[in-house]
């Protein structure tokens, strides 16, 4: 063991050598968790003679599984790890290849991808007399996934050939499951559900697999859902050798079903249990740990631990920059990056993190202006996202009438104008030597091109062109998003992220108009300026800044980290809090904690003043900043009164409480002092109502407007709970 002991502290060594029974390891960020698991595996193989084929090591992602396997092979030799270092889904696939016959399916079953799901729906829709217009395919796929979660007894339909389908199944779900059984295909969800069903309901299976697997090790257990926990428990039921590693403070996947309580209460339901805490941090400076510790201690649902730094370099301070506006915030970041670069850091040593992907727009524009190379880790650059390119193509069509833009948007969203239609139009345009749009418009009522979708498209373009002289660029954008059908399509498909991106694009246009308010800005000039941010060349493997969402940063580390757009309502997310109350507030705080603990040497927190267009309120710094403020110093910020900032945070909290407690329901009849009585059509997650007034049409009214009065409640749709902000 000498070759390992030199690398381990006392708690790590205890985790490695405690091989029998139930073991829970609480491993904080930067505590050497992966190395500890790898050493434990190697110790069992090299020192105790346990066969790798008897050890199951479960990880959360394929990337983590590969990294774990590589680390272990350094200790025990290449190719000696066996097949059981894998994700839950990968293990379940191996399991079902042997056991699926118990479910009356062949072992050569196929795993469905998105295209397979779509193909099945296209097959069953005509049988059910459903059209894609009536019910979007994406909506059905979501419905099927939710049905499998809510009705796990669907698995019995496969287990028993005579099993009748329950009457409470929807028509789509019933037909879909029937096709699954007929075609011998499973979804990724099915891998988990079928495995657990077989383990629970078929005699001899537990004994068989317990004889094969003597030890179960589970990494990142705070991210496991109920069914994954159940599989791990079932596989260790006989041998009772279950080793779990995780950190409740880093649980940020509640929306995926992750449950921190399984890890927190592990020692209650698994006795006797050895508890070990890895609280020695080898990643971050003390100032970063002190700041992150002070934040996470505000959570109640956790296991208390104090992360201790093992780095003795010259101490620094966490920097908080409070900017006057969003453009100043991003400009300050770029200047700080240039300073870090001049002091010897590489761009690849720097990461910019944000809560939501739409937040990338402003910082991307500043990076481009400053000629700082960057990549969007695990994502797409803002101006390269499909929905953004679609709207910009509409604008170019209005201004420039170019064929490239025409081809992008003629059938976006779907208008029934397929390839055959477009090819005929191309031929005619080539013959007439005219643009595609002009050719279509001039031949709109000819038998060849007389289609409803073509007429609506031409009307949209012509009406938009009329608006150029009278309306702002942002108004034209809003009109296009609504009247083209893009907003409705995204809403029906549940593409909330894309809808947020479009909101951010509109906001960027409004800011552009404000910045050039004393100039005669035309649509042509705007498109010329925006072209700066599109179709850029960059080297993906070069020396680039990494920008990403906080969720994407999980498991990564960087020398220098900026946490950007720390605005209350964004982090923490008001939408998450509105839906989940206190528990959601704690998860939002964990998201912040994960972001902070990615930093090794320098941590920068930034926010800005201004007006939040999405929420209809003045921007406030995230309350999380003030939970850590005694460990931070302000640097080059705009002047501010600390007492006023404290008041502002209290005010922000009161705003949230007011919005949540006073929100009216969808369907309510309300009275407005100017517009009169109206019906609430939608209660958005962005802080406003959509209200239909008979004499004024649709209006967006902010939640914090106190002039609305309830007339009568028509329907009860939501389940919004009151809550109090933890001070």
Cite the active site residues: 33-34, 219-220, 250, 598
Structure tokens at 429: 């345009």
In whole angstroms, give the CA distance from residue 263 to residue 97: 30
DSSP for 483-548, written as a single string: HTSHHHHHHHHT-HHHHHHHHHHHHHHHHHHHHTTTS---HHHHHHHHGGGSS----TTSS-EEEE
SS3 assignment, position 22:
strand
Structure tokens at 20: 């029998």
**C-alpha distance across the termini of the chain, in Å:** 49
The set of long-range contacts for 296-302, using a CB threshold of 8 Å and a minimum separation of 24, is 296/249, 296/589, 296/590, 296/593, 298/589, 298/627, 298/726, 299/249, 299/586, 299/589, 299/590, 300/586, 301/248, 301/260, 301/261, 301/264, 301/583, 301/586, 302/248, 302/249, 302/260, 302/264
Structure tokens at 30: 């930067």
User: 278 forms bridges with which residues in the sheet?
Assistant: 27
Q: How many C-beta neighbours within 10 Å does residue 134 have?
A: 9
Regarding beta strands 185-186 and 110-111, do their DSSP bridges make them parallel or antiparallel, or are they unpaired?
parallel
In whole angstroms, give the CA distance from residue 340 to residue 573: 31
Q: How many C-beta neighbours within 10 Å does residue 171 have?
A: 12
SS3 assignment, position 469:
coil
Task: Give the Å distances, CA to CA, from 333 to 176, 322, 549, 596, 604.
Answer: 51, 11, 17, 16, 9
Non-local (6+) Cβ contacts of 65 within 8 A are 59, 85, 86, 87, 90
User: 679 forms bridges with which residues in the sheet?
Assistant: 669, 692
Q: Answer whether 27's CB lies under 8 Å from 278's CB.
A: yes
In whole angstroms, give the CA distance from residue 175 to residue 627: 52
Side by side, which strands form the sheet with 669-672? 697-702, 688-693, 676-683, 669-672, 709-712
Q: Greatest CA span in the chain, whole angstroms? A: 86
Non-local (6+) Cβ contacts of 198 within 8 A are 95, 96, 99, 102, 103, 205
* Residue 221 CA from chain centroid, whole number: 19
Non-local (6+) Cβ contacts of 649 within 8 A are 568, 620, 621, 623, 626
Angle subtended by helix axes 88-99 and 188-201, to nearest 10:
60
Residues in the chain, total:
727
In whole angstroms, give the CA distance from residue 633 to residue 615: 29
In whole angstroms, give the CA distance from residue 381 to residue 151: 39
In whole angstroms, give the CA distance from residue 675 to residue 480: 26
DSSP for 321-351, written as a single string: EEESSHHHHHHHHHHHHHHHHHTT--GGGEE
Q: How many C-beta neighbours within 10 Å does residue 598 have?
A: 24
Q: Is 667 left (phi over 0), alpha (psi -120 to 50) or beta?
A: left
Indicate the DSSP class of residue 357.
Answer: G
Indicate the DSSP class of residue 569.
Answer: B
In whole angstroms, give the CA distance from residue 652 to residue 17: 50
Q: Is 167 exposed, middle or buried (0-12, 13-18, 19+ CB in 10 A)?
A: exposed
């Amino acid at each position: 063991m000498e070759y390992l002991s030199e690398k381990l502290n006392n708690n790590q060594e205890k985790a490695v050598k405690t091989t029998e029974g139930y073991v829970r390891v609480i491993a904080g960020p930067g505590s050497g968790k992966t190395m500890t698991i790898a050493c434990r595996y190697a110790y069992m193989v090299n020192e105790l003679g346990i066969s790798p084929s008897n050890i199951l090591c479960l990880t959360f992602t394929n990337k983590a599984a590969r990294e774990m396997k590589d680390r272990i092979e350094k200790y025990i030799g290449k190719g000696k790890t066996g097949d059981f270092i894998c994700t839950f889904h990968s293990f379940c696939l191996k399991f079902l290849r042997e056991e699926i016959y118990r479910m009356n399916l062949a072992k050569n079953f196929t795993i469905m991808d998105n295209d397979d799901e779509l193909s099945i729906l296209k097959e069953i829709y005509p049988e059910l007399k459903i059209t894609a217009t009536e019910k979007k395919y994406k909506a059905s796929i979501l419905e099927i996934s939710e049905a499998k979660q809510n009705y796990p007894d669907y698995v019995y339909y496969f287990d028993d050939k005579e099993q009748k389908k329950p009457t409470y199944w929807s028509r789509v779900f019933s037909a879909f499951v029937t096709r699954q059984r007929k075609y011998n295909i499973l979804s990724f969800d099915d891998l988990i559900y079928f495995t657990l069903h077989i383990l629970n309901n078929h005699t001899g299976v537990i004994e068989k697999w317990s004889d094969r697997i003597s030890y179960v090790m589970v990494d990142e257990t705070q991210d496991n859902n109920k069914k994954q926990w159940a599989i791990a428990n079932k596989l260790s039921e006989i041998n009772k050798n279950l080793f779990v590693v995780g950190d409740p403070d880093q649980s940020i996947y509640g929306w995926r079903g992750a449950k921190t309580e399984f890890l927190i209460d592990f020692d209650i339901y698994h006795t006797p249990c050895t508890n070990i805490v890895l609280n020695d941090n080898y990643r971050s400076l003390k100032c970063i740990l002190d700041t992150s510790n002070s934040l996470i201690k505000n959570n109640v649902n956790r296991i208390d631990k104090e992360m201790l730094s093992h780095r003795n370099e010259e101490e620094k301070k966490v920097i908080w920059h409070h900017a006057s506006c969003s453009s100043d915030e991003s400009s300050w970041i770029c200047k700080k990056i240039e300073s870090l670069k001049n002091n010897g850091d590489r761009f690849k040593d720097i990461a910019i993190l944000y809560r939501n992907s739409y937040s990338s727009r402003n910082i991307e524009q500043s990076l481009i202006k400053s000629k700082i190379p960057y990549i969007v880790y695990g994502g797409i650059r803002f101006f390269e996202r499909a929905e953004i390119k679609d709207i910009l193509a509409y604008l170019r069509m209005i201004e420039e009438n170019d064929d490239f833009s025409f081809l992008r948007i003629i059938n976006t969203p779907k208008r029934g104008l397929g390839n055959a239609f477009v090819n005929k139009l191309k031929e005619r345009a080539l013959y007439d030597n005219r643009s595609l749009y002009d050719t279509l418009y001039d031949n709109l009522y000819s038998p060849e091109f007389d289609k409803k979708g073509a007429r609506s498209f031409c009307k949209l373009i012509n009406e938009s062109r009329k608006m150029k002289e009278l309306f702002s660029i942002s108004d034209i954008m809003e009109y296009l998003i609504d009247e083209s059908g893009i907003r409705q399509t995204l809403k029906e498909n549940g593409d909330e992220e894309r809808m947020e991106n479009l909101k951010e694009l509109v906001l960027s246009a409004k800011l552009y108009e404000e910045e050039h308010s004393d100039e005669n800005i035309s649509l042509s000039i705007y498109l010329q300026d925006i072209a700066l941010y599109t179709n850029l060349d960059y080297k993906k493997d070069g020396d680039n800044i990494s920008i990403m969402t906080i969720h994407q940063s999980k498991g990564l580390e960087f020398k220098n980290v900026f946490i950007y757009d720390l605005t209350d309502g964004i982090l923490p997310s008001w939408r998450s809090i509105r839906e989940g109350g206190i528990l959601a507030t704690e998860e939002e705080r964990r998201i912040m904690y994960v972001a902070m603990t990615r930093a090794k040497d320098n941590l920068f927190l930034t926010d800005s003043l201004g007006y939040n267009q999405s929420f209809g309120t003045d921007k406030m710094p995230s309350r999380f900043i003030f939970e850590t403020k005694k460990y931070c110093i302000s640097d080059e910020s705009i002047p501010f009164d600390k007492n006023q900032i404290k008041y502002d945070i209290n005010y922000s909290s009161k705003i949230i409480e007011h919005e949540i407690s006073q929100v009216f329901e969808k369907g309510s009849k309300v009275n407005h002092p100017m517009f009169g009585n109206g019906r609430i059509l939608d209660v958005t997650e962005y802080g406003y109502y959509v209200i239909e007034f008979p004499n004024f049409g649709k209006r967006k009214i902010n939640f914090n407007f106190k002039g609305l009065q309830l007339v009568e409640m028509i329907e009860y749709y939501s389940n919004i709970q009151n809550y109090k902000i933890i001070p």
